[in-house]
């Protein structure tokens, strides 16, 4: 059995030990988590790279929405190059156009700077006006290997049925899905049965669900067991 992917959100090197000891497969590196994650400092990525050998996927997002401007995109392109030099293994990004389609022009302009590394399309896709169209656009994007989605802008609790239906209908699409955004333990078996094999955690692996607390190894381990068991049972 291919091991399911468990990705943990981190904001600095203090989170690395808990994620690693608990059995995480990779880390999503962000700043300003209360704004759903913005681009971190280069020093944070460098310090994390020194603290862990887990793959680091670095957020490229400069504001708390999903739109970008020419000058902001230029800054993000520079940030991508700096993160590569600091040890990033992949990236997380995504933009919406004014009509709420994926802004593929902006996305491609940034992807060109990633040196061929894999990247995650983040939850911008949940905020698209037409989800079917957004998924069609996403599947044509080069280098994309993961789509972080809750199935709804309001989180997995609302989007679970739609997300499971979409994944179950298309195994290739299911292979892209990383479920996250209010993910709860009771969601995991349903997602696993639908073919989802990637899971994304932020608050649930921190004591009290607080981003003021470091990632806790025991909490990560409990999710590791849950995800592994659910996927094994679904096969």
**CATH number for 138:** 3.20.20.380
Q: Write down the pLDDT at residue 33.
A: 83
Q: Confirm whether 218 is domain-assigned.
A: no
Kindly report, residue by residue over 36-63, the tens digit of the pLDDT: 899 999 999 999 999 999 999 999 999 9
Q: Indicate the number of domains in the chain.
A: 1
Q: Confirm whether 212 is domain-assigned.
A: no
Q: Write down the pLDDT at residue 67.
A: 94
Global confidence as pTM:
0.97
Kind of pairing between the strands at 198-201 and 144-149: unpaired
Q: Confirm whether 229 is domain-assigned.
A: no
Q: Confirm whether 160 is domain-assigned.
A: yes
Kindly report, residue by residue over 102-143, the tens digit of the pLDDT: 999 999 999 999 999 999 999 999 999 999 999 999 999 999
In the predicted model, is pLDDT for residue 35 greater than 90?
no
**What is the span of the domain harbouring residue 29?**
5-205
- CB neighbour list of residue 150: distance below 8 Å, 6 or more residues apart: 123, 126, 156, 158, 159, 163, 179, 180, 181, 182, 183
Q: Confirm whether 230 is domain-assigned.
A: no
Q: Confirm whether 215 is domain-assigned.
A: no
Q: Write down the pLDDT at residue 217.
A: 98
Q: Confirm whether 189 is domain-assigned.
A: yes
User: Distance between CA atoms of 2 and 128, rounded to whole angstroms?
Assistant: 31
CB atoms within 10 A of CB 12: 18
> Among candidates 235, 145, 148, 223, which has minimal Cα distance to 187?
223
Q: Confirm whether 46 is domain-assigned.
A: yes
């Amino acid at each position: 059995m291919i091991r399911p992917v468990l990705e943990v959100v981190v904001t600095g090197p203090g989170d690395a030990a808990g994620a690693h000891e608990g059995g995480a497969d990779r880390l999503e590196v962000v700043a300003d988590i209360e704004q759903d994650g913005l681009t971190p400092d280069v020093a944070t990525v460098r310090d994390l790279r020194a603290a862990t050998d887990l793959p680091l996927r670095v957020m490229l997002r400069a504001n708390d929405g999903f739109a970008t401007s020419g000058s902001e995109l230029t800054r993000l392109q520079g940030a991508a190059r700096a993160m590569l030099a600091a040890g990033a293994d992949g990236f997380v990004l995504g933009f919406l156009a004014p009509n709420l389609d994926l802004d593929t022009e902006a996305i491609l302009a940034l992807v060109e700077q990633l040196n061929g590394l894999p990247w995650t399309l983040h939850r911008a896709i949940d905020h698209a006006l037409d989800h079917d169209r957004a998924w069609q656009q996403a599947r044509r994007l080069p280098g994309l290997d993961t789509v972080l989605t809750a199935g709804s802008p309001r989180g997995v609790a609302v989007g679970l049925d739609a997300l499971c239906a979409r994944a179950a209908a298309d195994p290739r699409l299911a292979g892209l899905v990383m479920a996250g955004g209010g993910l709860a333990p009771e969601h995991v078996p349903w997602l696993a049965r639908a073919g989802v094999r990637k899971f994304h955690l932020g608050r649930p692996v921190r004591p009290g669900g607080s981003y003021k607390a470091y990632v806790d190894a025991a909490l990560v381990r409990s999710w590791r067991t849950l995800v592994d068991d659910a996927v094994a049972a679904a096969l």
